[in-house]
Each structure stands twice: as C-alpha cells, then as structure tokens.
A and B are shown apart, each in its own frame.
Chain A
Amino acid sequence: MRIIRSQWLWVVSILLVLGLAACGGGKSASSPTNSAPNGSTPLSIIMDAGPPSLVAQNQSAANMIFATITICTHGSTTACQTIDHIQVDTGSVGLRILSSALNGTAAPAAVLDSSSNPMAECLVFGDGHIWGSVALVDVNLGGSTLSNVPVHIIGSSTVGADPAACSTGNGPAEQTLAAFGANGILGIGNYIQDCGIYCALTTSNGQYFSCPSGTNCVSSTASLTSQVINPASLVPVDHNGVTLSFPAVTAPGAASVTGTLYFGVNTETTAGAQNNNAIGAAKILQFAPATATNAGYLTATYNGSTYSQAFIDSGSNAYFLPDSSIPTCTDSTSFYCPTNSVTKSFSLAGYNGTVASGSLVIDNADTLFSSQVANSYLNVFPTLGGPSSSAANGSSNWFDLGVPFFLGRKVYIIFENATVGGVQGPAVAF
C-alpha cells in the first residue's frame, strides 16, 4: 500500500477541519447523560444461529458475533426499540441498522450538513456496499444513554436510492436482511469516526453525501462530528477501546456460545470489578502508521514466511491464511478442508516491535458444517479456516485472524489516540 499524496496539505488543513467540526455539521453527538458508578456495564455478546427469519430459510450463521442494542428517539426513554442480532465487528466503525429492522418506535433524526441538507452515506465493504441516511438516535450502551449518536440507517427511504457515485463499481447493494446477514452492524474497530479527516476535507470522497430535497444526493464533505461514530468511544468512562472475551469452545464446535464485550482497555483493573478489562501480560501490537508500506496493518510470520497485511477481525468468520499446504474444500472454496486436523503456530508483530505468538487448529470445513453436538447443528466453529486469497497457490500478503481467534481469550482493541502500556493506538493486544 502506498501513502496518500499531498499529506502536507492535509496536515495544514487539520486546523481548518477542527474549525468546521466545531461550528458546522448541524446536530452533533453530545455528552452522555449519566455515567455508571463502577465502570461501564459490559455488553453480553453471543454467537448463535443468527436472525430467526434467516434460520427459517436455512441460512444459519457460521461464526458470527452478535449483540442486542437498544436505540431511542433522542431524549425519550419510552420511544425505544431493542434490536437483536447486530453483528459485532472490529473491522469497521460505527453503528449501522437495516431500515427494515426498525419498527418505527424510535425515530432517527436526520443529520444535516452546513446547508441544512440531510446527509447520507455509502459504505463499501469487501463484498458490496450499503447506502442510507446518516441519522441521530440515543443509544443505550455500557449502562449509559449515549445522546444523539450519528448512525447509519441502511436502505433508509428518506434519501432515495443509491446514486451512481455509490452504486457504480462498489459491488452489490446489501440493503436487505438476506443480503446483509444481520439486522445491523456494531463497528467497534480502532478508529473514532468511520472515515475521519479524509471525508472532512475531500468533497468527492465517495462515502458521504449531501441530499438537497431529500434525494439527488451528491458527494460531500462531512465534518468529524457529523460522521458515523464508534459508539464505544462515547461511553462516559472506559472509552479508550474495547475488550472482547469468549470462553474456549471444543472442536467441532457448539450451537451457541456467550461472551462479553468489556468497554475500555486496562482502565478497570480491580479484581471483581464488573468491567474488568485488565490487560495483564497481553502483548500490545501497534498498527503501522500511514507512512508505512503496510499502513494500518500488523506483520505476521507463518510457515517461515512474513506477511505484511495481518489483522485481527471479529467480522471475518474464519482464520483466513495463505497456506498452500492445506487443500481447499471442493464445495466451498472459501474454506480449507484438510484430511486430518492441522495445527500451526504463528506470530504477529506490531509496528512498535512487540511480537506476540499463538497457535491455531484448522479442521475440515465440510465435516464441521455437517457435524452435530447434542443433536444440534453447529454455529460456532473454533477450527474454521480458509485461504486469504483465491490466487492459484493461495499465496497473498493477507493474514486474517477472524472469529475462531476470539474464542478462549481476551482480545483488546485500542482506539486511535489512546495510549495503553506506553503504546499509542491504533493497536490490538492479546
């Protein structure tokens, strides 16, 4: 990866942006209304079969982490809706909810730009894009009511259909439950805003749009305070990151397993504290900076080779690794199908020079998907792996430790600008 040119211009412009953020952008997120007494309240998270209506169509989830989130009309404690099966994703930032999952009880308020036009967003994933309004709701999280949080309402009719600037070349629209696979997504990755300075400075950013008369949306700058924000950064205490914790699951797996999302990293270290996010002996790995060739990534060593684009992602449902020694499945070429169980060791290095080691096991995915435990098919697969590239010999620079990595350990996500154990984020620890 190359760095973005004209960085000097960006640096020069940051003060300007901060100014815009302070005075423009219409409504913006404000301080939470109350704070929890003994640290934030942890959020229960679960890996199960997924949204019931998809299960009914034989589309059960495999290795997806979900949370149940309550949103309210700003200022109300009764105009609220609790939404289940919101995917928990450390590989994106911001709360996004399918408009089809909203029952109308909670009323999102449009985020307006400096010309009082409603704003919309086009977020591009690896497998498609989502389009919809940017809106403010109150979000109950960590035992607090987070006030006026900018969120993304996927498929919201208030901003019309996705314009060509969003729909062209960004893959399929994933606006429905069947296409998206969850009622929404809770992005708790390492950044505060989903786009950041780039969208605050660049008109044709392709991500944020201004919608005069509600539709006819055109690409537009978005101040930092009007961008979709990481909700975990807004809890009144313990907001420097998140800590995900799951018990170990024995192969072939389980129908479901419950884990915990603790708010913050190493901010509540008292034994017995409800939100104990102590980092202990975990190694802290800093992301490579924008000036590095592998900006935003860690470096992995695996099978004696080095891979420059390594990351830990709760939104990937398997270990995705470059390993030509393991055969891919004939049915699903997305996964590995070794004849016998494979155990491998790996290490991850941060830009700060710290190295953390681990091991992983990969089993035959076809066998896993047809396995039953206690007469139930499985939705949690601790040994699911697949190639990180479709290239002929599976070789690539990508090394993706997905959901199986989160089982049986704590994974710490340290936000940008936070410092933990002397290491400044963005960083991860395990």
Chain B
Amino acid sequence: MTAKYLPGLFCVLVCLLTAPSVQAALGQDRASILVDHKVMGANEPTVSQGVGYQIHEMQHPSGTIVREFVSPQGQVFAVNWSGRVPTNLQQLLGPHYEQFTKSALVRTGSHHMLRINQPDLVLTNVQYLRHYEGQAYIPAMVPTGVDTSQLK
C-alpha cells in the first residue's frame, strides 16, 4: 500500500469508529443495525419476516436479546430488548436517547416501570429483580396496518 491511500483508509477507520454515536438504530436506516451489532458486541443479526415488517434479532454475549423492526421503506421504526442484563439504550435509541433520559428523570414513584408517551417517542422500560425488558417506537414511522402491541 502506498502512502497516498493512507488518508483515505484513515477516514474509513475513523468513520467506522465514530459512526455509532450519530448513526444508531431507532429512526435510522437498515444499515445502522450492523453498527448496533458491532458496538454491542452482539452476534450476527438473524432476519425474519413479520406481517408488514422485517425483524432483525441479535443477542448480546450476556444473552440479552435485541430486536429491531424495519419498515418496507427500510427504516428501523421500533426496537425491543429483553434479558438478564440491561442493553445499551444510548446505542439503540440513538438521537432519541436524550429524550428518554430527560423523561426518566421526572419521578413517577416507580424505579421499575418507566413509560414515555410523546408524539415522536413511545417507550416502555421495565426492570424487575434481575430482568430488563422494554420497547420503543416512533409513531410516525410505524407502517400502516402494523399493531405496535404485536412487535414482540
């Protein structure tokens, strides 16, 4: 390799390394799922077909499962998580993470059951003993005819 290619290679490396903070999953395109899987150290996502969407499922080394739901337009419109260990919600929620943390600071009397219901983010996060589970979606991105309660 000659020196003239190094700046380009450097850029590729930097872009790969810095991409996660700006290109996370919820609300992003399908390609961002691979970034999530790398950042979280999860296994290769498996893809299955739901009615009106694709499900990309990956598993943390801890066993925690993350599922990302992709619309026919190629956007991740919903995510859910479930397992023994909490998942990285900053990575999973991307730009919506700040909204989550801001809402979570409003005390409602329960550390175990958080529900956020805003026009651009609907999120439920449940922690009970050694279990962490939750789901989030962006209402405007949910494909027509898809029942969000069935995103499991």
Contacts and interface: CB of A to CB of B under 8 A. Distances in A.
A206 B123 CA distance: 23
A2 B86 contact: no
Interface in A1-37: 1-5
A195 interface: yes
A222 to B, nearest CB: 14
- State which size class the interface on B falls in: 35 or more
B105 A168 contact: no
A208 interface: no
A389 interface: yes
Contacts of A196: 130
A179 interface: yes
A315 B85 contact: no
A112 to B, nearest CB: 25
Nearest to A125: B111
A323 to B, nearest CB: 12
A209 interface: no
Nearest to A124: B86
B18 interface: no
A402 B127 contact: no
A93 B131 CA distance: 12
Of the listed residues B82, B122, B127, B130, the one surrounded by the most CB atoms of chain A closer than 10 A to its CB is B130
A320 B90 contact: no
Contacts of B104: 127-128, 171-172
Contact of A315 (B83, B89, B112, B115): B112
Contact of A172 (B88, B91, B105, B134): B105
Interface of A: 1-5, 59, 61-64, 89, 91-93, 124-128, 168-172, 174, 179, 181, 185, 189-191, 195-196, 198, 202, 204-207, 295-297, 309, 311, 313, 315-318, 320, 328, 332-334, 386-393, 395-398, 400, 402
Interface of B: 59, 61-63, 65, 82-92, 97, 100-101, 104-105, 107-117, 122-135, 137, 139, 147-149, 152
